Amino acid sequence: MNRQVLIKAENLTFKYGTEPPVLRNISLEIARGECVAVIGQNGAGKTTLAKHFNGMLKPVSGKVYVGGRDTERLKVSVLARTVGYVFQNPDHQIFHDTVGKEVAFGLKNFDLPGKVIEERVTAALETVGLTAHHATYPFNLSKGQRQRVALASVLAMQTEVIVLDEPTTGQDYRESMQIMNLVKKLNQNGHTVIFITHDMALVAEFAQRAIVLCNGEILADGGVRSIFSRPELLKETFLKPPQITALAQSLNRYAIPPDVLKVKEMYELLKARGEEIGCFS
Amino acid sequence: MTLLKIENLTFSYPQSIQPALKNINLAIKKGSFTGITGPTGAGKSTLAYCLNGIIPHFQGGKLGGQINLRGDSLFTLGTAQISRVVGSVFQDPDAQIISADVEQEVAFGPENLGVPPEEIEQRIAEALYLTGISGLRRRPTTVLSGGQKQRLAIAAALAVLPEILLLDEPTSELDPAGTEEIFQVLKKLNREHGITIIIIEQKTEQLATHADRIVVLNEGAVVMDDHPRQVFSKQQTLEAVGVRIPQVAGLAGMIGVNDRTPLPLTVEQAHRFIERILRR
């Protein structure tokens, strides 16, 4: 299958006014069907980069292409058909008085018949588990639920690319897993997903590729296994691999590989290793 | 010595059918480091509001039971009196910082309590030192990083010389480095200065490492209250409640633990745990 590039940045540099650049010389390609995590410490430029993917921000120099089109001359409302963006704080994007109206809002610009809009809203609310809240005032919901309203609004637009800025911040464990499993399902259904997070265990479990930002530059860009196998590199942007990966790296002399990502995977490896030397019950 | 004794504490918000807290019993010892965790809606913040006087002074509702602070009923104390004992730090650093620069922010509490100027100066220096931000004293608060802002919020709470620091998800908006900063500061305050820490937190890997006791709340009730090693051994209960199990503890749970190989809570402990098994 041909690799079809959906998002491409070429020497992207961005700054606010006369301040030093927030992004410097970023070049990357994201292809259809990828699930990419953007990681790095606070202030590394993650959100600023993501906002270039739907045209909310335009490069000061360099180029960003979405679906082959230069974002320079494209409005956010046009790019919104290709790239959906879920903000970190759902309260920054929710402004209608019912959940249903909120989710329908983005579709109003799509010239769709009312019936189709209603179908899409119903389907999106069902996907995020908020069917019962169609007529609820969004601010009567919990923050976790509002985060899912924001996600439903983007799902209803059925965009090829979905960008999520820290979708699990402020969520409890179960809510985080619900959101990430939903993201996984979207990716399996063919959507290209880009998510920003500080939770390395989520990166290990849900992303295939990680882009590591540090002070506005790309420090590394590659498969999650190879990125997490380089703890000294992560340290430069004050990150650490997940606990289980760090444990694997400390067990180097027992022939445990340094790129273990999941607890179950580690368990299977240890079981095999233990059975070999006859010490695992 | 028991500093805070919570007995049969029950609270319902106005107009709500379900109580937010149901018959909570906890005794907090002086010098302890207690982590409180549990899913959204479990009553964690409501419990914090009962401990710092927001309930009943600013939030009405139906309150039952008792909280004793060294023998005095907390509910009969005013918020000013409570604030001398319980210093609070909340989730959003921007929502709690009110001053233009770091020094003013730390001076605010003691100034309001009528502390003499020479002593305020001493307290500012001490609080900034303890939180590792002495070098930021003249900075505007707006230029601080998230971790620095939360350390400032802790410094401001410390300047009142509380015995207890109560923190409600102080790291949820922070990156991993900022989270680590906060836990290191809390550890130092607890170990070296005897300050009692009560922290509400979703990041159970950090709680497992630093707390000496973990309380799990669910639907307004205490479902677990024990040493971290005991709490994270009961993995089925934690999964049912929706509490994240630290990865190394989860791994050990799959392998099986016994007296010779107790449940590891940190990567270092897990390393020794695995070595023992592979050498067995």
Q: What is the pLDDT of residue B211?
A: 98
- Residue contact B172–A247, C-beta within 8 A: no
Q: Are B88 and B50 in contact (CB under 8 A)?
A: no
In chain B, residues with a C-beta closer than 8 Å to the C-beta of A250 are 267-268, 271
Q: Which of B172, B247, B279 sits opposite A201 (nearest CB)?
A: B247
How close is the nearest chain A Cα to the Cα of B219, in Å? 14
Closest CA in chain B for residue A239 = B176
Residues of A with CB under 8 A from a CB of B: 41-43, 142-144, 169-175, 198, 200-201, 238-240, 242-244, 246-247, 250-251, 254, 263-264, 266-267, 270, 273-274, 277, 279-281
Can you give B69-108 as a three-state secondary structure string?
Answer: ECCEEHHHCCHHHHHHHEEEECCCHHHHCCCCEHHHHHHH
Q: Which of A159, A168, A6, A185 is nearest to A85 (CA)?
A: A159
Top residue of B247, B272, B277 to mutate, by most chain A CBs within 10 Å, is B247
Model confidence pLDDT, tens digit, residues B195-225: 999 999 999 999 999 999 999 999 999 999 9
Please judge whether A247 and B248 are an interchain contact, meaning their C-beta atoms are less than 8 angstroms apart.
yes
Query: Domain segments of chain A: what residues?
Result: 1-82+159-240, 242-281
Q: What is the DSSP letter of B244?
A: P
Beta carbons of B247 and A251 less than 8 Å apart:
no
Q: Give me the DSSP letters along A86-136.
A: E-SSGGGT--SSSHHHHHHHGGGGGT--HHHHHHHHHHHHHHTT-GGGTTS
Using a CB–CB cutoff of 8 Å, tell me whether B251 touches chain A: yes
Distance (Å) from the alpha carbon of A249 to chain B's nearest alpha carbon: 10
Q: What is the pTM assigned to this prediction?
A: 0.91
- Using the structure block, give the residue that is written with the tokens 């809009």: A117
In Å, how far are A256, B30, B89, B211, B273 from B5, measured between CA atoms? 48, 11, 21, 19, 37
Count CB neighbours of B175 within 10 A. 23
Is B251–A144 a contact, with Cβ atoms under 8 angstroms apart?
no
Interchain pair A244, B248: CB under 8 A: yes
Distance CA B119, CA B133 (A): 19
Q: Spell out the per-residue pLDDT of chain A, length 281, in tens.
A: 568 999 999 999 999 888 899 999 999 999 999 999 999 998 899 999 999 999 999 999 999 999 999 999 999 989 999 999 998 888 888 889 999 999 999 888 788 899 999 999 999 999 888 999 999 999 888 877 888 899 999 999 999 999 999 999 878 899 899 889 999 999 999 999 999 999 999 999 999 999 999 999 999 999 999 999 999 999 998 999 999 999 999 999 888 999 999 999 999 999 888 777 666 65
**Across the interface, do A267 and B254 touch by the CB < 8 Å criterion?**
yes
Phi-psi region of B226 (alpha: psi -120 to 50; beta: other; left: phi over 0): beta
Smallest CA–CA distance, residue B244 to chain A, in Å, is 6
B41, B145, B267 ranked by CB distance to A247: nearest: B267
Note the pLDDT of residue A278.
66
What's residue A279's pLDDT? Answer: 64
Q: Give the per-residue pLDDT at B186.
A: 94
What phi and psi, each to the nearest 5 degrees, are found at residue B56?
-95, 5
Please say whether the structural domain A1-82+159-240 has been given the CATH code 3.90.1010.10.
no
Q: Closest Cα of chain B to A113: distance in Å?
A: 38
Verify whether the Cβ–Cβ distance A238 to B177 is below 8 Å: yes
Q: Which pLDDT score is estimated for A280?
A: 63
Tokens encoding B125: 């220096």
Domain ranges of chain B: 2-228
Q: Tell me which chain A residue has its CA closest to the CA of residue B204.
A: A173
Q: What is the pLDDT of residue A42?
A: 84
Identity (one letter) of the amino acid at A245? T
| 8 Å CB contact of A172 and B177 | no
Could you say which of A173, A201, A242 has the minimum Cβ distance to residue B202?
A: A173
B272 at interface of A, judged by CB pairs closer than 8 A: no
Query: Which of A41, A242, A266 lies nearest to residue B177, judging by beta carbons?
Result: A41
Report chain A residues whose CB lies below 8 A from the CB of B272: none
- CATH fold, domain B2-228, is Rossmann fold (3.40.50)
> Chain A residue closest to B206 (CA)?
A243
Digitized pLDDT (tens) for each residue of chain B, 280 residues in all: 899 999 999 999 998 889 999 999 999 999 999 999 999 889 999 999 999 999 999 999 999 999 999 888 999 999 888 989 999 998 888 888 999 999 999 999 999 989 999 999 999 999 999 899 999 999 999 888 888 999 999 999 999 999 999 999 999 888 898 899 899 999 999 999 999 999 999 999 999 999 999 999 999 999 999 999 999 999 999 999 999 999 999 999 999 988 888 999 999 999 999 998 887 6
Residues 48-87 of chain B with CB under 8 A from chain A are none
B242 touches chain A (CB under 8 A): yes
Per CB-CB distance under 8 Å, the chain A contacts of B242 are 172-174
